[in-house]
Structure 1
Amino acid sequence: MRVLLVEDDRDVADCVRRGLARHGHVVTWVSTGRTALAAPPADLVLLDLGLPDMDGLDVCRELRARGDVPLIMISGRDGETEKVVGLELGADDYLVKPFPVRELAARIRAVHRRSRDAGSPSQVACGRVTLDRRAHRVFLDGAEVPLARKEFALLAFLTERAGTLVSREHIMAAVWDANWFGPTKTLDVHVTALRNKFGDALTIECVRGVGFRLGPGPGHQDTFVPSRR
């Protein structure tokens, strides 16, 4: 896999490059945000937040505006706010320094697997909503509804289990990362975003202290039916 490493600390960069090379990855290292934005396309981006020329959050925002390249933030900032903001901006995972390269490699595999699965050809439909996994698009009454990467991944995950109560821990492990031990506030933020975008076309029921259950909106008896193209 071609990995773009955006890290201003040479020692950290050398350690990551050597470690990921042992796992079969080809790592391109850049030390500034502007260089990262000008770099050739990669299969995955490892992004430090403390860059010398611009904040890594701004780099993430710009990369997300350009496309859906898988992105893992690596940072010494371990506060809840930084993690939530990073994930809200579109990061697929957030790893706090210091960390073992073996864990980083595992998270890269997990993020890559989720990205690959999100591009599968299956479709899911419920009432007025249709989700196309292959095209990474969602439609309400035939009109496309723009979704952020994590919003799409969350909706896709819940539709596969429509009518089933899914725990917060299960959702966080599947949509964010199996090793995620941070706050689950970001899950509530994404659920709220989906509710706002789909209104009464979908029902995302919250069972306090347990998790969420997704179903069609009021008046619709349809169930989610997967299909292949």
Structure 2
Amino acid sequence: MSARILVVEDEEKLARLLADYLVAAGYVADCLGDGREVVPWVKAHVPDLIVLDLMLPGRDGLDLCREIRGFSSVPIIMATARAEEIDRLLGLELGADDYICKPYSPREVVARVKAVLRRLQPAPEGGPAARDGVVLDEAGFRVRAAAGEVELTAVEFHLFATLYREPGRIFSRGQLMDRIYADQRIVSDRTIDSHIKKLRKKLAEISPEVELIHSVYGAGYRYEPA
């Protein structure tokens, strides 16, 4: 079944052109141009990925991303012409999964869509991995522990999975950025710190008595459920 992509873009010609490229790549594409329509549409149709413009009539893209994150972990690629917003988009405030700078080519957006969806594919063995009472569900992007389960965003999941798969190993911020952002984009250390902060908050809901991610002063972070 083809993945369904929602394009939120108020420039009608650009939105239609991007939708055509997505359809040619094998996806189902829908377009919205008014920010006020986005949240009800997402709740009703549950897309597989959203390409969300930052500047929209009706509602700002930042506000929309924040609200969507409150009820869904659907991957979000933010489109922005503001280079100074990139760190905020990727995690300092909102936790978008990727960004693309305008003006962009439709081919570049399709490539980003493919890359994000590819990261979401479950591991070949399919089943969840378990260690020390913590279960990593790669198919559902969830983590389970004694007190329940929590759903993570794509970036949070890949960050946690990197640490989880090598318990005790200290990963520097640079190494974590390389693992999460394979295209070697330039983001600040604060972006990783922000993701870790949000991740810890979610993990505390299911493991309130045991801290799973530890800070190592001057070095980075490690997973160690002890």
Q: Deviations over 1:29-59 (max 9, x none)?
A: 1101122223333221100010010111121
1:121 corresponds in structure 2 to 127
Q: 1:203 to 1:171 in 2, by over 3 A?
A: closer
1:202 corresponds in structure 2 to 212
State the secondary structure of the residue aligned to 2:31.
Answer: strand
What TM-score does the superposition give when structure 2 sets the normalisation length?
Answer: 0.78
2:15 corresponds in structure 1 to 13
> Would you say the 8 A contact 1:60–1:91 is kept in 2?
yes
Q: 1:10 to 1:102 in 2, by over 3 A?
A: same
CA–CA distance in structure 2, aligned partners of residues 191 and 178 of structure 1: 20
Q: Which amino acid aligns with 1:83?
A: I
TM-superposed CA distance for 1:9, in Å, is: 1.3
2:96 corresponds in structure 1 to 91
Between 41-50 and 95-104, report the one with greater CA deviation.
95-104
What TM-score does the superposition give when structure 1 sets the normalisation length?
Answer: 0.77
> Would you say the 8 A contact 1:172–1:187 is kept in 2?
yes
- Where do 4+ consecutive residues of structure 1 move more than 6 Å? none
Q: Percent identity?
A: 35
State the secondary structure of the residue aligned to 1:61.
Answer: helix
2:114 corresponds in structure 1 to 109
> Would you say the 8 A contact 1:172–1:178 is kept in 2?
no
1:34 corresponds in structure 2 to 36
Q: 1:193 to 1:41 in 2, by over 3 A?
A: closer
> Would you say the 8 A contact 2:141–2:152 is kept in 1?
no
> Would you say the 8 A contact 1:4–1:27 is kept in 2?
yes
Q: Which amino acid aligns with 2:89?
A: G
- Unmatched 5+ residue regions in structure 2? none
TM-superposed CA distance for 1:205, in Å, is: 4.0
1:212 corresponds in structure 2 to 221
TM-superposed CA distance for 1:95, in Å, is: 1.2
CA RMSD in angstroms comes to 2.8
> Would you say the 8 A contact 1:191–1:204 is kept in 2?
no
> Would you say the 8 A contact 1:92–1:176 is kept in 2?
no
State the secondary structure of the residue aligned to 2:70.
Answer: helix
User: How many residues get paired?
Assistant: 212
State the secondary structure of the residue aligned to 1:201.
Answer: coil
State the secondary structure of the residue aligned to 1:84.
Answer: helix
